[in-house]
Structure 1
């Protein structure tokens, strides 16, 4: 994990041989308003600021808020300072984040978020965290074996379905539009799950992957926990969150 206190210093080796643009970049990072911090340090701070903003405004996202509470209720409280880390995933990875089962930590990819030029960074971060929190929830509540391809695919399906990354906005829909929305949601879940699975299992080919997803998809797609329904649009996500909050209201 990068750290703003010990991130690598600016590379001044062979300074004379560097191009003019490289020299200007070095001078700027050292002296012009960045208090001597490198780009890596500034990017790290930017990503962490987005993470803290996501948690401070968790109530704005029903998927994210529900999962924070569900994990706490399961005895697996998420502490942002010990269970979330910012790390280098490689400039070419394109990854947003993942859950490390061995370390029980959510890993957020520094390069992807630092280089993103999206309007709603908080929402993207909350969705990314929610995706990993589904993995954390399954890790907490069940004996999940991440090395088992069937378990891995099931996690990928549930994470895509319950994190909000495939959720449509909560507009009023007629029956035809509603059916179309649900089909689109299922298609998105399939695509995201396969993408996530193949990234973790690069030796698998598509025929073998398709055969596996046909075996596990019905069961895993219909396992909504901790939701009480499939949150295929924003309205359903909010209703699910409301139902979760009132689920144990009258327990003694």
Structure 2
């Protein structure tokens, strides 16, 4: 789950939480326009833009290729669902392992004010949720029932999605010091996401679990060959991944 969203444990049914308000799912009309349909159309167009070659992100490119190479190729029309979500939360989207889908909240993206903001949010969100999808594909992570699995994939999603790049966290980095800002950023967002999924956990227990899994999960860079601290490093890692098996003997 991406940071900035609020997600509660819901009997292993992600949709129940994201769409728990029935009224939020009805079509709203405004001057003869179906706002729900318009939001869905705009969100799908934004997904297609982020996935297009012209506007591609090395983070998204890497993960889409890695998913395909792992036998879990992502078909945007099938595996990226666009739905109306609970309006009184700031959820933008989440990965639903029970349906092998990334779920995007059309009404929440409609609230973002600028085209640039919507594009960057979608790029970051897809990267984040694709990490969860990749972990589920390669290791069958059970995020609903295994807190260790959830904490580990949240650490990896925060670390490998570009969420904690310096260019997005200059204020936090200046306050905490450049040397350790990335690890501190990853810890912060992983803990926030975990506590949103398991709100019944007290702070000390969640922090203890984070301490336990952090070294191994933070240093697990797959499918990247390095920690992508910048867009340039992500690009280099993507190029390296494309040629990783060029000389392998079958």
Give the TM-score normalised by structure 2.
0.81
CA-atom RMSD in angstroms: 2.3
Contact 1:67 1:130 in 2 (8 A): yes
1:153, CA displacement in angstroms?
Answer: 0.3
Q: Which residue of 2 aligns with 1:193?
A: 190
Select 1:65's aligned residue among 61, 64, 68.
Answer: 61
Distance 1:60-1:229 versus aligned 2 partners, 3 A rule: same
Q: Which residue of 1 aligns with 2:22?
A: none
Q: Which residue of 1 aligns with 2:165?
A: 167
SS in 1 for 2:82: strand
Runs of 5+ unmatched residues, structure 1: 11-25, 31-36, 171-176
Q: How does 1:205-224 map to 2 (within 5 A)?
A: 205-224=202-221
2 CA distance for matches of 1:65 and 1:142? 21
Larger deviation: 115-124 or 83-92?
115-124
Indicate whether 1:74 and 2:70 are aligned: yes
1:168, CA displacement in angstroms?
Answer: 2.7
Q: Which residue of 2 aligns with 1:16?
A: none
Q: How does 1:17-166 map to 2 (within 5 A)?
A: 28-30=30-32, 37-57=33-53, 60-118=56-114, 119-146=116-143, 147-166=145-164
1 CA distance for matches of 2:92 and 2:178? 25
SS in 2 for 1:115: coil
1 CA distance for matches of 2:207 and 2:54? 35
Number of residue pairs matched by the alignment:
219
1:184, CA displacement in angstroms?
Answer: 1.4
Runs of 5+ unmatched residues, structure 2: 1-14, 20-24, 169-173
Give the TM-score normalised by structure 1.
0.80
Select 2:181's aligned residue among 176, 181, 184.
Answer: 184
2 CA distance for matches of 1:9 and 1:166? 36
2 CA distance for matches of 1:230 and 1:139? 20
Deviation track 1:1-47 (CA, whole Å, cap 9, x = no partner) reads: 99xxxx8455xxxxxxxxxxxxxxx6x521xxxxxx32222111111
Deviation track 1:127-175 (CA, whole Å, cap 9, x = no partner) reads: 10111111111111113122100111001000111111112349xxxxx
Distance 1:245-1:144 versus aligned 2 partners, 3 A rule: same
